[in-house]
Structure 1
């Protein structure tokens, strides 16, 4: 009879810009040595964690790791790692099996050679400022224009009118202050004369109907539409973070969260706006003054 193996796994949350893999312990599994190869092949070569692990375990891990997105953005991928392999009965570590696994799948080796750091998720949370990437977000502007060449009053007024069924127009715009930690993050300002403010474009309308209302008057009814890095829900919408820097308006696509876990209101610049991005660009460009 083949021995029973006790395999300990972690989910590796990969943050490419930070060259970081945050390891979250995903528990253990006991399988016979006969089934071992098939088990790891499913997890590591075929369908990934969704096929190899329980939904609730994945959800719990994702919920715990979610706050990191405020500083590091969404992980580029989540991949499983084998931490240890033991004989279930004797609890003896089986380093040869683990080494054979690493040699065959080369997951850890590949990332180490690319300069990635592996760290326990708890340590990452504790020292998150060490992992915030240094970025120049200039290339994420979807419009950069002199303030007097853009009809801001009409832009904001039209958005208020077009979204009035799903949003209180009195809260548009939301004045923001840029975080000192990362240029991607803005926090609601207590002042109403800030040079940064958020204006919504795509808002969840689930209180009325199953769709997303857009500031250009369109509705998005396809639940499977590519949203890119954006999330739209009861507490989150997508729109423009606008900075007035030396009388130059800088427009970027961002995700606004009206209720974080610590009751802040924040907006976060995203890299990829999916199918909403061209809609947002076309809409904002229509308010450039014709000379």
Structure 2
């Protein structure tokens, strides 16, 4: 299985002892580097640099690789993933010397795993690096692990950023149980944010026809158009904060109004955490407008 982006061949963040020796380190210098903090020993003969992502260090210390949303967050911070409390780690089924995520001298105990969620499913291909699984296995674990709407939003992001393509995802889904395959039919690479993905799913659920990424003369490109009269824009703090941006948005809305459109701006936090409020707003608008 192959992917289409160099991002899926991650930089190696874990150094092996023999590589340090090849770079001119002596055993004594390695020990000194660990003591002074310029190297961090996470497991026997495995080292990382100071400041390495905590999840990477935990996965290697355990004796596994990052997977699911934890892997995607390391692979590319611009990939959309829901906030998550767990470090998702995969360990080989045959691995017998798993360690604790905090200190390497303690053996792995599920009761002491803390925020680590461990998977030992069979892989479809070798890991991509010492700290990450291959992207196909990362996606496969994501699909099995998270609620469907979260999976779709993240896979939309992977497609939009061209980290994977549709043929690649079809191959991934063929290796998964049939009950997951309907997810592949609900993806859309045009979604530019997780908010847009979730709103699209809500509109489909409500049976409301829509257009996405519509260009309107004199206004520009808008996220959604419904019924030829309603523009929906998905706003996040990252891209719509500050008075200058808000002023620009309001003037854009006035230009749209001059062309017969009304605009509903949906906050990302409401789409994530209060979808019922978004649902009521959409249903109210559609019920109260003669063109709906």
Report the TM-score when normalising by structure 1. 0.30
More helix by share: 2
Question: Which structure exhibits the higher relative contact order, with contacts defined as CA atoms closer than 8 Å and separated by 6 or more residues?
Answer: 1
Q: Which has the higher strand share?
A: 1
